Chains A and B, each alone.
Chain A
Amino acid sequence: MLVAGVDSGSIATKTVIIEDNKILASNTLDTGLDPRRVAATTLENALKKAGRKYEDLDYIVATGHGRRAIEFANTAKPEIMAVAKGARTLHKSTRLVIEIGGQGIRVIALNPDGTVDNFSTNDKCSAGTGCFLDAMAFALGVELKELGDLSGTSKKPENVSTKCTIFAESEVVSLVARGKGKEDIIAGLHESVAKKVASMVKPMLQKTVGNVNTQTDSANGSKVFFAGGVAQNQGVKDALEKVLGLKLYTPKNPQTVTALGAALMAPKKG
């Protein structure tokens, strides 16, 4: 059974093609101003990579911010359920999913059987999300993709006290004016993101992961799955591991976990 999962996020659109629960291909593009067309284009690109035709698809599941606008999908699923499904499928021991996307932070607690037990998300505020980091990269004149590597070279992270995107930008500007190194400012920003996310994660840790000290020290044994575009940033991952005191499991392509999960949510052929 050939299924496509299309995740129309606020910043990036991701499509994953699976056949009988195996990933064939994926494609990611910026969502831009025409989410419907971009969604169709990622589908087209992914199909091309997989060497399949649109007509061969049995089912299309849409998810993400723009899921309701994707009229060519058979069904639309909320991304919270989709990312949970994707994470659990990629990493069996997952009990807690942390997903940081372009504008959303989602923390999802899973029962031992993989069903969703509880979840929390950010409200309107964009603090700690991908677009927060995007704005900071712009303020510092670096590429978004460089943030992770740059912060890795920091010796002494600066303290960025605010979590608000707008205020943090002015704080960054004043740190730059005081002659602070870019890498230290970026490392400080990553810590600020980690603290914001940790405040959402901590209330759910006890029930899902238990006492963090008893956690195995390897990422592969971790019960905490880190997904979303921001999970590609090693600096955020390191900072989050430090604040939470545990290792995170991150798949090879954390950005497409939600699209994969959506595809896996297609009803089985009857």
Chain B
Amino acid sequence: MATKPSSPPTTQHLKPADPRIVAHLKQEIEYLAKNNGGIQGLNYFYEVFKEVYGNRVRELEQAKRDGKKIIGTFCNFVPEELIIAADAIPIRLVCGSQEPILPAEEVLPRNFCPLIKSSYGFTLTGFPHFDLADVIIVPTTCDGKKKLSEMLSEVKPTWVLEVPHTTETPQARELWLKELKLLKKQLEVLTGNKITGKKLKAAVQLLNKKRAATRRLYNIRSGQTPKIWGRDALMVTNLGLYDDPVRWTERVNKLCDELEARTQPVAPPDAPRIMLTGSPIVMPTWKIPVLIEESGGIIVVDDVCTGSKGLWDPVEVSHFTMIDMLIGLADKYLMNTCPCFTPNTARMDRIFALAQDFHVNGALYHVLQACHLYGMEQLRVERALSELDIPVLNIETDYSQEDVEQIRTRVEAFIEMIQSKRAVKTGQPTSRPQPVVTKPVVKPAAPQDDGTPLADRILKPPGQA
């Protein structure tokens, strides 16, 4: 790990986030809130997400005034336990908005990952979480992040966390453990707080509770009755990257209490069960989860960084000695089934197991444009799932909205394909009621044929469509 030289942090007046990003975020959240099936427990997450660049920033500002350090992180590989044990606050710096891409493209190559472009562009136009951060930690999990760390180091102290390329050799595990030990030391120097065994144990237990709550939510989704939309569940886990972990865990458990007691499904029980996998899906670009569920599917499980990936495996420690905990942390973070590892059979095994446990009917493989690691693994995932006879729909996209309708066509066809396959397999048509025509339905009653063009009689005036 190397500390890059940088200008001293300034206590500048905080620039608010681009109002277009905030507006887009609110619009997506309001869509979710309107169509969530009346689940009360989700309201907390909607409210906090809408204020992620508002009230959440003020909370962080207050913490900073109280003497806490803010640590901006990229990606699931940063062991937040160490940050919390040093009495600092981790906050994820990642942006899913199209808006900052234009300013980023003035500097970065155009044919490049939208997540990196968006996150970097956000720092140029005023990214409150970034501006508040005392230090940024960037793991070397892809080429985009590696070079991003160099760009960010020009304005912020940036620590590069070296993640090995493989998880299987002893030297790779040794390197990773050394990186964590070094990170611990650096955090102690930065915060002036010693990371004691007691504090680290508390942090490990705290984040394990967060993971347990996540598992509980997923467990509910593995049942036959769809009790929560996948787009809502993914929003909950996405918020987990920005929210206070204690509060978030408490609210997820409350949500689970409500869902466990609930009998009313949000979707028809025979809706095709979809697994979402591939590149990260980050608010406010929510088109993929929304399109799947608007097309008649339901996302029951995922293998994406903003979903289950970082929250799936707990840190396993048998004796809470410092070295035991550090080894436990190192092991846990190498369990991230990230395509930055080669070989990455763990991801295939994980996806194979999830597909069975969650009774998945089809998978959507999402690739962000120019995300080579996820793009290259598409074929292997397809092969793994073909053993279970689970079809995969590959979608390559970015943060823009221009391809929404094209993707919708493919997703709708995919869902229909799954339904018709199931009908063939079981010899039964899907139990969803098929419209039966007895007389002309829905067709708007056309006024009398007075010789005017048909269009004038059957089309609503533009704007009322």
* Chain A residues near B (Cβ < 8 Å): 1, 36-37, 40-41, 43-44, 47, 53-55, 57-60, 65, 68-69, 71-75, 77-81, 104, 111, 113, 115-121, 123-124, 266-270
Q: Which residues of B contact A69 (CB under 8 A)?
A: 465
**CB-based A-B contact count at 8 angstroms:** 116
The answer to the question of B455 belonging to the interface, with a C-beta cut-off of 8 Å to chain A, is yes
Complex Cα distance, B69 from A25, in Å, reads: 73
Q: Is the CB of B409 within 8 A of A65?
A: yes
Contacts of A119 on B, CB cut-off 8 Å?
Answer: 410, 413-414, 417
Looking at A41, A115, A123, A267, the one whose CB has the most chain B CB atoms below 10 A away is A123
Tell me, yes or no, whether B153 is within 8 Å of chain A by CB.
no
Q: State whether the Cβ of B12 lies closer than 8 Å to any Cβ in chain A.
A: no
CA distance A266 to B449 in the complex (A): 25
User: Residues of A contacting B408 with CB < 8 Å?
Assistant: 78
* B102 at the binding interface (Cβ < 8 Å): no
Q: Does B460 contact A (CB under 8 A)?
A: yes
User: Which of chain B's residues 261-289 have a Cβ closer than 8 Å to chain A?
Assistant: none
Give Cα A268–Cα B436 distance, bound, in whole angstroms.
7
Give the 7 A-B CB pairs with smallest separation, nearest first: A40-B455, A80-B413, A270-B436, A44-B454, A78-B412, A78-B413, A72-B458
CA distance A19 to B323 in the complex (A): 78
Q: Chain B: interface residue count, which band?
A: 35 or more
A202 to chain B, nearest CB (A): 14
A124 and B402 within 8 A (CB): yes
Residues of A within 8 A of B405 (CB): 65, 68
6 interchain pairs, CB-CB under 8 A: A72-B458, A74-B435, A115-B420, A120-B394, A123-B403, A269-B437
A119 to B414, CA, bound (A): 8
Determine if B440 is an interface residue (Cβ-Cβ < 8 Å): yes
Contacts of A120 in B (CB 8 A): 394
Contact of A57 among B394, B414, B440 (CB under 8 A): B440
B window 382-407: CB within 8 A of A:
391, 394, 396-397, 402-403, 405-406
Query: Which chain B residues in 412-457 approach chain A with CB under 8 Å?
Result: 412-414, 416-417, 420-421, 424, 434-444, 446, 449, 453-455, 457
Choose one: B391, B402, B439, B459; the contact of A37 (CB below 8 Å).
B459
Question: Is the pair B453, A270 in contact by a Cβ cutoff of 8 Å?
Answer: no
- Is B458 a contact of A267 with CB atoms below 8 Å? no
Q: B369 to chain A: closest CB distance in Å?
A: 9
Which has the most chain A C-beta neighbours within 10 Å: B417, B421, B439, B449? B417
Is there an interface contact between B453 and A267, defined as CB atoms closer than 8 Å?
no
Q: Which residues in B have their C-beta under 8 angstroms from that of A58? A: 437, 439-440
Closest to A121 in B: B410
**Contact among B416, B443, B449 for A74, CB-based, below 8 A:** B443
Bound: A54/B437 CA distance, A: 16
Q: Are B424 and A113 in contact (CB under 8 A)?
A: yes
Inter-subunit contact B441/A74 (CB<8 Å): yes
Q: A54-B458, A58-B439, A115-B424 are in contact. List 5 more A-B contacts (CB 8 A).
A: A54-B449, A60-B443, A121-B409, A267-B435, A270-B437
User: Would B436 and A53 count as touching, CB distance under 8 A?
Assistant: no
For the complex formed, measure the closest distance between the CB of A254 and the CB atoms of chain B, giving whole angstroms.
Answer: 19
> B409 near A79 (CB under 8 angstroms)?
yes
B454 touching A40, Cβ below 8 Å = yes
Q: Name B's A-contacting residues (CB within 8 A).
A: 391, 394, 396-397, 402-403, 405-406, 408-410, 412-414, 416-417, 420-421, 424, 434-444, 446, 449, 453-455, 457-460, 462, 465
Query: In whole angstroms, what is the CA distance A266 to B441 when docked?
Result: 12
A104–B420 Cα distance when bound, in Å, is: 24
Q: Is the CB of B453 within 8 A of A44?
A: yes
| Cβ of A53 to closest chain B Cβ, rounded Å | 7
Indicate if the CB atoms of B458 and A40 lie closer than 8 Å.
yes
Whether B446 pairs with A44 at a CB distance below 8 angstroms is: no
Q: Which residue of A lies closest to B464 (CB)?
A: A71
- Separation of A37 and B90 alpha carbons in the complex (Å): 55
Bound Cα distance from A115 to B417, whole angstroms: 8
Q: Once the chains bind, are B465 and A75 in contact (CB under 8 Å)?
A: no
Contact B455 A44, beta carbon cutoff 8 Å: yes
User: In the complex, what residues of B have CB within 8 A of residue A53's CB?
Assistant: 449
CB atoms of A71 and B459 under 8 A apart = yes
Q: Are A116 and B402 in contact (CB under 8 A)?
A: no
Nearest B residue to A64 via CB reads B409
Beta-carbon contact of A74 and B442 below 8 Å? yes
List residues of chain A with CB within 8 A of the CB of B444.
Answer: 71-72
Considering only CB atoms, which chain B residue lies closest to A83 in the complex?
A: B413
Nearest-neighbor residue (CB-CB) of B400 within chain A: A124
Q: Which residues from chain A contact B449 at a C-beta distance below 8 Å?
A: 53-55
The distance in angstroms between the C-alpha atoms of A47 and B453, with both chains bound, is 12
A57 to chain B, nearest CB (A): 7
Q: Contact at B396–A123, with CB atoms within 8 Å?
A: yes
* A81 adjacent to B406 (CB under 8 Å): no
Q: Are the C-beta atoms of A78 and B409 separated by less than 8 Å? A: yes
- B contact residues around A60 at 8 Å (CB): 443
A44: which B residues are within 8 A, CB to CB? Answer: 453-455
Please judge, given known A-B contacts A78-B413, A119-B417, whether A269 and B438 are in contact too, CB under 8 Å.
yes
Which residues of the partner chain A approach B437 to less than 8 Å between Cβ atoms? 1, 58-59, 74, 266-270
Do A41 and B443 have beta carbons less than 8 Å apart? no
Which chain A residues border B410 with CB–CB below 8 Å? 78, 80, 119, 121
Cα of A118 to Cα of B439 in the assembled complex, Å? 35
Collect the chain B residues with CB atoms within 8 Å of residue A78's CB. 408-410, 412-413, 416
Contact between B435 and A124, CB atoms less than 8 A apart: no
In whole angstroms, what is the CA distance A68 to B439 when docked?
A: 22
- Least CB distance from A130 to B in Å reads 15
Please give, as numbers and ranges, the residues of chain A lying within 8 Å of B421 by CB-CB distance: 115, 117
Residues on A with C-beta less than 8 A from B391 are 118
| Distance between A228 CB and nearest chain B CB, rounded to angstroms | 14
